[in-house]
């Protein structure tokens, strides 16, 4: 049985609806809203809803989180879904970039300890949150929760927490420069 939010009407047409973290996707069915209950149309809509549900369940099983909007969009369009890199994957890429800077003498080797410490803190935050984070999860609330994790659970000093946040900002700048957002 479909929920109210899985099939919606827009401009007199029927759409399959998916939303995750404020990002919405409405997939056009080419079926008029007033004709959605005809047996042949009902079958088409039910098949699309089933496809979305199965995709979400499989993605959750494999990644521990709900499907990103783009994943569902790819499934409904019949395209191969793009593999979503985790936050950790991007951070490992960032660490490699920073190591190359150290090797070239563009960055002090001591900076690597702050960068490595942030990686360990992010991994701990994922464990306690029971979530594998992705770039799409990053917002102001994420940073606030991460800072709270550092101060209350990891019990680091406010100075150390600020160092982690500064490394975090450098990581976000790296991602922004590469247009990962």
Tell me the pLDDT tens digit for each residue of 66-117: 788 888 888 888 887 666 678 888 999 999 999 999 999 999 988 899 999 9
Tell me the pLDDT tens digit for each residue of 37-48: 999 999 999 999
- Helix boundaries (H) for the chain: 39-63, 69-76, 87-103, 111-129, 140-148, 158-177
The CATH-assigned architecture of domain 87-177 is Orthogonal Bundle (1.10)
The answer to whether the pTM exceeds 0.95 is: no
Q: pLDDT-based confidence at 33, cuts 50/70/90?
A: very high
So where are the chain's domains? 7-76, 87-177
For the record, the structure tokens of 25 come out as 């996707």
Q: pLDDT-based confidence at 133, cuts 50/70/90?
A: confident
Choose between 109 and 61: higher pLDDT: 109
Average pLDDT over the chain, rounded to whole? 87
Q: pLDDT-based confidence at 31, cuts 50/70/90?
A: very high
For the record, the structure tokens of 49 come out as 């809803």
């Amino acid at each position: 049985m479909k929920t109210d939010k899985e099939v919606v009407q827009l401009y007199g047409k029927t759409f399959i609806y998916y939303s995750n973290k404020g990002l919405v996707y409405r997939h056009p069915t080419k079926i008029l809203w007033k004709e959605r209950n005809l047996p042949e149309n009902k079958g088409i809509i039910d098949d699309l809803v089933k496809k979305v549900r199965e995709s979400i369940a499989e993605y959750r099983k494999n990644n521990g989180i709900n499907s990103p909007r783009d994943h569902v969009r790819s499934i409904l369009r019949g395209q191969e879904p793009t593999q979503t890199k985790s936050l950790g994957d991007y951070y490992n890429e960032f660490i490699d970039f920073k190591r190359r800077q150290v090797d070239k003498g563009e960055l002090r080797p001591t900076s690597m300890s702050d960068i490595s410490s942030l990686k360990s803190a992010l991994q701990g935050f994922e464990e306690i949150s029971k979530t594998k984070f992705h770039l799409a999860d990053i917002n102001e609330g994420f940073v606030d929760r991460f800072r709270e994790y550092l101060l209350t659970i990891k019990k680091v000093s406010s100075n150390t927490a600020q160092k982690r946040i500064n490394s975090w900002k450098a990581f976000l700048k790296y991602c922004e420069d590469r247009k990962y957002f």
